Amino acid sequence: MYLDLYALQSVPPSNINRDDTGSPKTAMYGGALRARVSSQAWKRAMREMFSDLLPEGQLGVRTKFVVPLIADRIAAKREDLAEQSVDFAKSVLDATGIKSSETDRKGSDEGTLATGYLVFIANRELDDLADIAISWADGGVDPKKPDSKSKKDVQKAFKGIQAVDIALFGRMLADASDFNVDACSQVAHAISVNEISQEYDYFTAVDDCAADDNAGAGMLGTVSFNSSTLYRYATVNVDALMEQLESAEAAACGVAAFVEAFVKSMPTGKQNTFANRTLPNVVAISLRDDQPINLATAFERPVYAARDRSITQIAAERLAACAKDVESAFAHPATKSWHVSYGVDAASLEYFGEGVSFDDLVSAVREAIESALASEE
């Protein structure tokens, strides 16, 4: 079972995801220049929202500072081990194959033990590693020379039920491939349905304390921006998520959180300059039993506004028409579909099933998935 999630989102002048020159990211599609927001940027925004949707114990953290996190847990559980907490934390992490060393990063982090790359680790795994380190201390294990049995205990901490965000977005550990996790979701780069032109805002800043006879600006600058209607797509392999979370209820709640975070989140680039935060004009969800389907081909030909129809309205019509054409051609219609919309003619989206409120959509998705998975258990 796959959940396909489609969104059309009108975004005013903005620069929410910059390239190496500071300009909004773009892509060529259908021979036309499109606005683009990378999947990495939007997944980061989604993960930040997860903390409002799911308990901390079901989530993880992506960081180089794993050793300090384990050490803090050791010290919090056993004050008598506070002075040795860093040594035991380093040792227990080294036993996984993930090495750490003092960072040369400037500021308050300087000299802190850090891994060589970002590690996506569950809060539960951090707690388990802290408990293992404490058992080493109580059992007289030398933190610098743990035996093979002690190392096997460490490996058990990464087995079993995964954190929801790690299960959804995956984990790759270069030094400990046994603990890698295949992502249950895929998120496409958002691209505009319309052709765009990069624009530039020339701005000046006035010095409030300059002399009255000083007519010059305190500074000059430019910022690049564009505006667009974005087509966004993501898919979740529901059965794979079920395998990693080992519960129909947990998988359904995880998918519901994914849907809510996908729809309501937005990368924060230049948001204070542009106040560009919007919500999608159209959200459509389809449950499929064969394979996920990205409907980007609906917009291979750029959308242009008509006299009496907006870009977003025409895009909504194209999206529904593309879904109908693809499913008719391959004789694999979605098993269930729902949609939410505003600012467009809802009748143009009837192919995506019942039009509902967003809260009702999330509830319907959760109930449908839990019911389907429970019947398979």
Answer whether residue 107 shows pLDDT above 90. Answer: no
Answer whether residue 142 shows pLDDT above 80. Answer: no
Domain that holds residue 272: 2-53+184-376
Domain end position, chosen among 127, 162, 197: 162
Which pLDDT score is estimated for 236? Answer: 98
Which pLDDT score is estimated for 307? Answer: 87
Which pLDDT score is estimated for 365? Answer: 96
Tally of domains in the chain: 2
Residue 179 inside a domain? The answer is: no
Same domain flag for 264 and 343 = yes
Same domain flag for 304 and 369 = yes
Answer whether residue 58 shows pLDDT above 70. Answer: yes
Which pLDDT score is estimated for 377? Answer: 65
Same domain flag for 108 and 223 = no
Same domain flag for 194 and 342 = yes
Same domain flag for 277 and 364 = yes
Q: What is the pLDDT of residues 192-249, one digit of tens each?
A: 999 999 999 998 888 888 887 777 788 889 999 999 999 999 999 999 999 999 999 9
Answer whether residue 13 shows pLDDT above 80. Answer: yes
Same domain flag for 16 and 75 = no
Which pLDDT score is estimated for 123? Answer: 96
**Mean pLDDT value of segment 26-30:** 97
Residue 45 inside a domain? The answer is: yes
Answer whether residue 149 shows pLDDT above 80. Answer: no
Give dist(CA 246, CA 263) in Å, integer. 26
Residue 227 inside a domain? The answer is: yes
Which pLDDT score is estimated for 139? Answer: 86
Residue with tokens 């997944």: 43
Which pLDDT score is estimated for 155? Answer: 84
Residue 177 inside a domain? The answer is: no
Same domain flag for 6 and 146 = no
Question: Which of the residue ranges 99-108, 182-191, 281-290, 334-343 would you say has the lowest mean pLDDT?
Answer: 99-108
Domain end position, chosen among 162, 192, 227: 162
Residue 172 inside a domain? The answer is: no
Same domain flag for 314 and 188 = yes
Which pLDDT score is estimated for 82? Answer: 92
**Mean pLDDT value of segment 279-308:** 96
% of the chain exceeding 70 in pLDDT: 99
Residue 167 inside a domain? The answer is: no
Which pLDDT score is estimated for 105? Answer: 78
Residue 120 inside a domain? The answer is: yes
Strand pairing of 354-355 and 336-341? parallel
Residue 149 inside a domain? The answer is: yes
Same domain flag for 207 and 345 = yes
Which pLDDT score is estimated for 48? Answer: 96
- Computed over every residue of the chain, the mean pLDDT equals 93
Residue type, 362: V
Answer whether residue 295 shows pLDDT above 70. Answer: yes
Which pLDDT score is estimated for 152? Answer: 81
Which pLDDT score is estimated for 231? Answer: 98
Same domain flag for 364 and 305 = yes
- pTM value is 0.94
Banded model confidence at residue 159, pLDDT cuts 50, 70, 90: confident
Same domain flag for 232 and 192 = yes
